[in-house]
Amino acid sequence: TAARNYTLAEELQRAFENGEFVLHYQPVLRLGDYRMVGAEALLRWNHPREGMISPDRFIGVAEDSGLIVPLGDWVLEAACRRMRQWQDIGFSEMRISVNLSARQFRDPGLVGRVAQIISETRLDPLSLELEITESTVMHDSEAAIGTLRALKKQQEEQQKKQLYRLRRGTFH
C-alpha cells in the first residue's frame, strides 16, 4: 500500500543517515581450481528491531523514493574501499562486482561518480565490475549504450592515470 511504502521510505532514509546498511561479500570462485577470483558486494539492511533485511524487501521503495542513487553510491564506494584493502594485503588479481539499479544506471551523474570513487579509492579500474540487468539496458538501449561507452572510456582514462603514477613512483 502507499502508506506502508511511505513509512518504509522514511525508515530507509533514517537507516541511511544512521549507517544501518552493511555490505556482505559473496566469493566468486574460478570453476577449474575453486580459486577465489573476486567477490560480489551484497547490500543488507541491519534493522535495529528486525535484524538483517534482504534487499528484495526495500530496493523497490528505495528506487521509487530516489534514495537508491545515494545508497548505490555508498555501496559502490564501500565496495571499492574494501577491494582496495584486499589488494593492499596481496589479493591484487581479485575483482569486486557491484550491482547497479536501473535508476542508478540511468542517472546522468553515474559516470562521473564512478570515476571519482575509483580515483579516491585508488582502485585499479579493471578490478571493478558493474552489473546491470538486461531489462535495464532494454529500457532505453541507445542511452544504455551511451552510458556503457562512457564508462568504458572512463575506465581506460583511469588506467592511463594509474600507469603514469606507477611509472613516476607515486602509486601506493
Successive 10-residue mean pLDDT values, the chain, 172 residues? 85 97 96 93 96 94 93 96 94 92 88 92 90 74 79 75 54 46
Distance in angstroms (rounded) separating the CA atoms of residues 140 and 123: 30
Question: For position 171, what pLDDT does the model report?
Answer: 46
Provide the whole-model pTM: 0.83
Query: How distant, in Å, are the alpha carbons of 9, 11, 19, 128, 138 from that of 155?
Result: 34, 36, 29, 9, 23
Q: Is the dihedral of CA 20, 84, 112, 108 positive or negative?
A: negative
Question: For position 162, what pLDDT does the model report?
Answer: 61
Instruction: Give the rounded distance of the alpha carbon of 97 from its chain centre.
Output: 7
Question: For position 67, what pLDDT does the model report?
Answer: 95
Question: For position 5, what pLDDT does the model report?
Answer: 80
Distance in angstroms (rounded) separating the CA atoms of residues 25 and 40: 5
C-alpha cell at 82: 574494501
Which residue in the block uniquely carries the three cell numbers 547497479? 100
Contact 68, 9 (CB under 8 A): no
Distance in angstroms (rounded) separating the CA atoms of residues 73 and 48: 23
Distance in angstroms (rounded) separating the CA atoms of residues 91 and 38: 9
Question: For position 43, what pLDDT does the model report?
Answer: 97
**Phi and psi at residue 43, to the nearest 5°:** -80, 135
